[in-house]
Amino acid sequence: MTSALDGVLVADFSRVLAGPYATMLLADLGADVVKVERPGTGDDTRAWGPPYDADGTATYYLAVNRNKRSVALDLTDPTDLAAARTLVHRADVVVHNFRPGTMDRHGLGYPDVAAANPRAVYCSITGFGSGPGAALPGYDLLVQAVGGLMSVTGARPGEPVKAGVALVDVITGLHATVGILAALRHRDSTGTGQHVEVNLLSSLLSALVNQASGYVAAGAVPGILGNAHPSIVPYELLPTADRPLAVAVGTDAQFRALCQVLDLSDVAADPRYATNPDRVRHRAPLIAALAERTALRTADDLAAALGRVGVPCGPVNDLAGAFRLAADLGLDPVVDVTGPDRSHPARQVANPITLSAAPVTYDRPPPRLGEHTAEVLAWLAPDQPGREKPAT
């Protein structure tokens, strides 16, 4: 079965998270991704452990590098640099997340690549763009802080916290993937590639959606609400007899059903809580009344009772519980990716995209450093044809 991106060659100079996440998504969709790494050390995340898998590989690296080939090239070495230039001149897509100017110094910047390969889609991922912020370090924690995410995340005002994963990197990787796919579509209709630029700060501001819109359109600067929602009530964690329960009441009918289960007919009839805007204005007394009742029952008991009347809710799972739930729902959240000379299959989180005609594939486990250097360099030799995939 033909993959969606079959025949698309990606020269991947990115490392750590945002870029590798984007190129892994492209690889899952069938693109041939050649990951260019520094000899000796490779991608930074190869050393970011523990935890490690059964073969001793850092699981951070494993998270975003399956379905790729690894070639070790030293861009300060003339021979290796020549190979890198040949690779980008043959590629359909070039991706990097170096600071602005780094690729240009090696003759691998967009103007150089476009001159030799005008069909190439060239994607630059930066922390703060290529203008005045070009020199700023693009670390996810830093962008969560200066980009406003931490200002709305935390248990209570004055105690901002970061998200539990590098969420800005992931969001930026998704934006990069969308931009690359759009540029490929444009290239296929016009014959010409283009420069795709994404940065962490702009990606985060876009991902702040309703919070950012509230500021831009109405001048509202939100603060920390813990697990509460600024515009919907009740939409937060409520205590139970054993563990917190997430309750997401999005309609007035759901609110009345919640009150029915909790035997709070007086609350349901209270004009202060008649509509969602009313409930937002009277958040504190309403949550206190609900919490007093939910604390008397277990989370599982409440979840079952609320589920029967159509109130969205669920307990706070750890990752074991989250994967167990996904498996119980038939979502197949884990895949085993096998490869030659591997003592254990690489257990991977499944790609969440389902395509009916061109499904994602899991052909290669995350590569060892330089695992495919010889075959890729042989393919890049001057007497080899120009755009075919490297031989497997």
- List the pLDDT tens digit at each of the 392 positions of the chain: 789 999 999 999 999 999 999 999 999 999 999 999 999 999 999 999 999 998 899 999 999 999 999 999 999 999 999 999 999 999 999 999 999 999 999 999 999 999 999 999 999 999 999 999 988 889 999 999 999 999 999 988 889 999 999 999 999 999 999 999 999 999 999 999 999 999 999 999 999 999 999 999 999 999 998 999 999 999 999 999 999 999 999 999 999 999 999 999 999 999 999 999 999 999 999 999 999 999 999 999 999 999 999 999 999 999 999 999 999 999 999 999 998 777 788 999 999 999 999 999 999 999 999 999 999 999 998 765 554 555 44
Q: Which helix (DSSP H) or strand (DSSP E) does residue 36 occupy?
A: strand 32-37
35 neighbors 69 (Cβ within 8 angstroms): yes
d(CA 353, CA 110): 30
pLDDT for res 382: 74
Q: How far apart are CA 30 and CA 358, in angstroms?
A: 9
240 closest CA partner among 291, 284, 316, 312: 291
- Asked about 328 being catalytic, the answer comes back as no
Only one residue has tokens 């899991």, namely 362
Report DSSP state, residue 371. T
Catalytic residue among 12, 104, 169, 341: 169
Q: Whole-angstrom Cα distance, residue 314 to residue 316?
A: 7
Domains and CATH numbers, the chain: 9-207+326-380 (3.40.50.10540), 245-315 (3.30.1540.10)
Distances (CA, A) of 66 to 53, 174, 213: 14, 16, 36
CB contact at 8 A, 273 and 255: yes
CA–CA gap between residue 274 and residue 268 (Å, rounded): 7
**Residue 33: per-residue pLDDT:** 98
> In whole angstroms, how large is the CA radius of gyration of the chain?
25
How many Å apart are CA 95 and CA 34, to the nearest integer?
10
